[in-house]
A and B are shown apart, each in its own frame.
Chain A
Amino acid sequence: MDRFSWSNGLLEINETLVIQQRGIRLYDGDDKAKLDSGVALLSTHRLIWRDVKNHECCIAMPLSQIVFFEEQAAGIGKSAKIIIHLHATPANKETGPYQHSKYSFIKLSFKEHGQIEFHRRLTEEMTQKRWESTPASQPIPTATGSQTGRTRAVGIVGIERKIEEKRKETDKNISEAFEDLSKLMVKAKEMVELSRSIANKIKDKQGNITEDETIRFKSYLLSMGIADPVTRETHGSGTHYHMQLAKQLGDMLQVPLEERGGMMALTEVYCLVNRARGMELLSPEDLVNACKVFESLKLPLRLRVFDSGVMVVQLQSHSEEEMISSALDNVSCTIPNIMLTLTRFRRHAVLDTHLRKMSSHSRETSRFNALNSFRDVFGRLLLLQVSDKGSLTAEEFAKLLGLSVLLSKERLLLAEKMGHLCTDDSVEGLRFYPNLF
């Protein structure tokens, strides 16, 4: 017990509190010391003990004094203890409660338990030996009036020190907390570098790597969220992957499209395709990109975007379009004839193609008149259909024509835009009336 010195109990700069435990009785060797009830504080540099009743009674010992320590289990009527074996007293030790002791060890008796944690922390500190790397700065000397030499920093100095300690504690906590995150970030950086190098390799070796591998690599890249570098090369030319996909779609969608009057909303296509594939599902981006290359690959499908933003895939067999246009050219542009031609294609997607052309004014003047009356006639056809029923909602119209609701709505909206229909918007829904205004 003579290794202890009187202390003010304040932590110095660079010294941090590790753990504290109440209810500690000190033993000088095997003898109970008079210091029988206090708080033991373990810091990075010292072991401090403060009397619970008399806060001014505070002693401390540098951790460097400790040789080793061991636990002593609790017994009946006896609390658990930690026995700390110490070096010999250093020559420059300041005065403490005991001038001399015949023992070279002390015991801490944990009357209120907590010995396990204390032991663990003590082990940590003793292994890390942080007092060696961050020497505590000398405490500011204060006037020592009493013979016990107790010092206490008072006033602003004390407050400043406390603030400094708190700051250091916070810093330490934050850096500990973010340690894991920084490790993760380091790993992520490696991953990103790796995928970039692979992407570059693909770019360089384009043509030498087989398509399968390319597709596989690209799927890895996509799964990692990195934009496919090859698509950024030349505008318009899709990647191999998208082209293959487009060809596949072209084959797959012929029959469903014909069943549905030549036009399908992109969402329907997505569902169909993924259901058919089963395993290797398509992402929406892939689907859209594949659809965009239909035209360049001269496939009989087209991706069309309506004004409202609805995207559809429709059959674009040139033969069909030519059929309609030639039908209009050859036939005299009398309304009944056009009506007849139209009724044949009532359900056909080509009708909608023409509608789009009309609403943005065809520049082919030779067909201009035909298309103009076409427009009138189409309008009238739609008008007839609607007037027949008085008024129609998009759903009713869809049922009438056998089209999907989405597309029938598009057609009705287009007719409204041309002024043939007007809308009635109420809580019951959107109804289309012949425009009687």
Chain B
Amino acid sequence: MSFEWPWQYNFPPFFTLQPNVDTRQKQLAAWCSLALSYCRHHKLYTLDVMEAQESPVFNNKKMERKLSIEAIQVVFEELRKKGEFSSWLDKNKSRCLVMWRRPEEWGKLIHQWVSKNGMVNSVFTLYELSNGDDTEGEEFHGLEDWMLLRSLQALQTDGKAEIIIMDDGKGVKFF
């Protein structure tokens, strides 16, 4: 399934941070949804701003326009403010996490799979969940550790799971 670009992607002013406040708000809204859907499509969980500048989402090679670093940072800052869809990994705003799906939602998905397969009350290592053969084909397969952990923590708060610290890592038990 190829990614569909919104109409703004081919509109040159889209790649310039608009000075007019109202225009800027609309522009940023479009960027936020584009960024999120792109990350969702390609299952990207973390982003390095410098690298992102070269990725097709922020760099329209055909039009020879790309979003500046500052603008990218503004977009992700906006995502963070709007509803915690993003958070910065460092103070310089060079790397960020992208949560196009909330930890709670991930948690629900994982729990659904666990209960569907009747594996409640068994213990899993984190690796098993994210990279195990059994979970291949599931949406959360390939989920990055930090995201997985957050989702499990969300489940834990709900009382549906418990994170166990083992010798060589973490594990989780589902209820």
Question: What's the nearest-Cβ distance from chain A to residue B74, in Å?
Answer: 15
Residues of B within 8 Å of A424, CB to CB, are 12-13, 15-16, 65
Given contacts A416-B20, A423-B19, A426-B65, contact A437 B30 (CB under 8 A): yes
Query: Is residue B167 contacting chain A, with contact meaning CB distance below 8 A?
Result: no
Contact code string A405-418 (vs B, CB < 8 Å = 1, else 0): 00000000000110
Question: What's the nearest-Cβ distance from chain A to residue B26, in Å?
Answer: 4
B12 touches which one: A417, A419, A426 (CB < 8 A)? A426
Query: Is residue B4 contacting chain A, with contact meaning CB distance below 8 A?
Result: no
Instruction: Of the listed stretches A20-28, A124-132, A188-196, A428-436, name the one at the interface; the rest are far from the partner chain.
Output: A428-436
Residues of B within 8 Å of A426, CB to CB, are 12, 15-16, 64-65
Q: Please determine whether B23 and A435 come into contact, CB atoms closer than 8 angstroms.
A: yes
| Residues from 6 to 60 in B contacting A, C-beta threshold 8 Å | 8, 11-13, 15-16, 18-20, 22-23, 26-27, 30
Residues of B within 8 Å of A433, CB to CB, are 11-13
Given contacts A426-B65, A437-B30, contact A416 B12 (CB under 8 A): no
The residue on B at minimum CB distance from A436 is B11
Residues of B within 8 Å of A176, CB to CB, are none
Q: Please determine whether B15 and A422 come into contact, CB atoms closer than 8 angstroms.
A: no
| 9 further contact pairs, Cβ within 8 A, besides A422-B23, A426-B15 | A391-B12, A416-B20, A419-B22, A422-B16, A425-B16, A426-B64, A435-B23, A437-B8, A437-B23
Give the distance in Å from the alpha carbon of A426 to the alpha carbon of B15 in the complex: 9
Give the distance in Å from the alpha carbon of A407 to the alpha carbon of B64 in the complex: 29
Residues of A within 8 Å of B64, CB to CB, are 426
Give the distance in Å from the alpha carbon of A423 to the alpha carbon of B14 in the complex: 9
| Residues from 76 to 111 in B contacting A, C-beta threshold 8 Å | none
Q: Please determine whether B23 and A419 come into contact, CB atoms closer than 8 angstroms.
A: yes
Question: What's the nearest-Cβ distance from chain A to residue B61, in Å?
Answer: 13
Residues of B within 8 Å of A436, CB to CB, are 11
The residue on A at minimum CB distance from B24 is A437
The total of interchain contacts (Cβ-Cβ below 8 angstroms) comes to 44
- Which of B12, B16, B20, B65 is the most central at the interface, judged by chain A CB atoms within 10 Å of its CB? B20
Residues of A within 8 Å of B13, CB to CB, are 422-424, 431, 433, 437
Given contacts A416-B19, A423-B19, A426-B65, contact A437 B12 (CB under 8 A): no
Query: How many A residues have CB within 8 A of the partner chain?
Result: 14
Interface residues of A (CB under 8 A from B): 391, 416-417, 419, 422-426, 431, 433, 435-437
Give the distance in Å from the alpha carbon of A424 to the alpha carbon of B12 in the complex: 6
Question: What's the nearest-Cβ distance from chain B to residue A359, in Å?
Answer: 12
Question: What's the nearest-Cβ distance from chain B to residue A277, in Å?
Answer: 40
Residues of A within 8 Å of B15, CB to CB, are 424, 426
Question: What's the nearest-Cβ distance from chain A to residue B104, in Å?
Answer: 32
Q: List 12 A-B contacts (CB under 8 A).
A: A419-B22, A424-B15, A424-B16, A426-B16, A426-B64, A431-B12, A433-B11, A435-B23, A436-B11, A437-B8, A437-B13, A437-B23
Question: What's the nearest-Cβ distance from chain A to residue B64, in Å?
Answer: 8
Give the distance in Å from the alpha carbon of A433 to the alpha carbon of B11 in the complex: 9
Give the distance in Å from the alpha carbon of A424 to the alpha carbon of B8 in the complex: 12
The residue on A at minimum CB distance from B22 is A419
Give the distance in Å from the alpha carbon of A380 to the alpha carbon of B65 in the complex: 28
- Which of B13, B15, B18, B64 is the most central at the interface, judged by chain A CB atoms within 10 Å of its CB? B13
Give the distance in Å from the alpha carbon of A426 to the alpha carbon of B66 in the complex: 9
Q: Please determine whether A437 and B26 come into contact, CB atoms closer than 8 angstroms.
A: yes
Residues of A within 8 Å of B30, CB to CB, are 437
Give the distance in Å from the alpha carbon of A391 to the alpha carbon of B11 in the complex: 11
The residue on A at minimum CB distance from B16 is A425
Residues of B within 8 Å of A391, CB to CB, are 12
Give the distance in Å from the alpha carbon of A391 to the alpha carbon of B12 in the complex: 10
The residue on B at minimum CB distance from A426 is B65
Q: Please determine whether B20 and A419 come into contact, CB atoms closer than 8 angstroms.
A: yes
Give the distance in Å from the alpha carbon of A417 to the alpha carbon of B65 in the complex: 23
Give the distance in Å from the alpha carbon of A278 to the alpha carbon of B69 in the complex: 52
Residues of B within 8 Å of A423, CB to CB, are 13, 16, 18-19
| Residues from 150 to 174 in B contacting A, C-beta threshold 8 Å | none
Given contacts A417-B20, A424-B15, contact A437 B65 (CB under 8 A): no
Contact code string B122-159 (vs A, CB < 8 Å = 1, else 0): 00000000000000000000000000000000000000
- Which of A422, A423, A424 is the most central at the interface, judged by chain B CB atoms within 10 Å of its CB? A422
Give the distance in Å from the alpha carbon of A437 to the alpha carbon of B6 in the complex: 12
Give the distance in Å from the alpha carbon of A437 to the alpha carbon of B19 in the complex: 13
Give the distance in Å from the alpha carbon of A437 to the alpha carbon of B65 in the complex: 17
The residue on B at minimum CB distance from A417 is B20
Give the distance in Å from the alpha carbon of A417 to the alpha carbon of B19 in the complex: 8
Give the distance in Å from the alpha carbon of A354 to the alpha carbon of B65 in the complex: 36
Residues of B within 8 Å of A419, CB to CB, are 20, 22-23
The residue on A at minimum CB distance from B21 is A419
Question: What's the nearest-Cβ distance from chain B to residue A427, in Å?
Answer: 8
Residues of B within 8 Å of A416, CB to CB, are 19-20, 23
Q: Please determine whether B18 and A422 come into contact, CB atoms closer than 8 angstroms.
A: yes
Give the distance in Å from the alpha carbon of A424 to the alpha carbon of B68 in the complex: 13
Residues of A within 8 Å of B22, CB to CB, are 419
Q: Please determine whether B27 and A437 come into contact, CB atoms closer than 8 angstroms.
A: yes
Residues of B within 8 Å of A422, CB to CB, are 13, 16, 18, 20, 23, 27
Residues of B within 8 Å of A437, CB to CB, are 8, 13, 18, 23, 26-27, 30
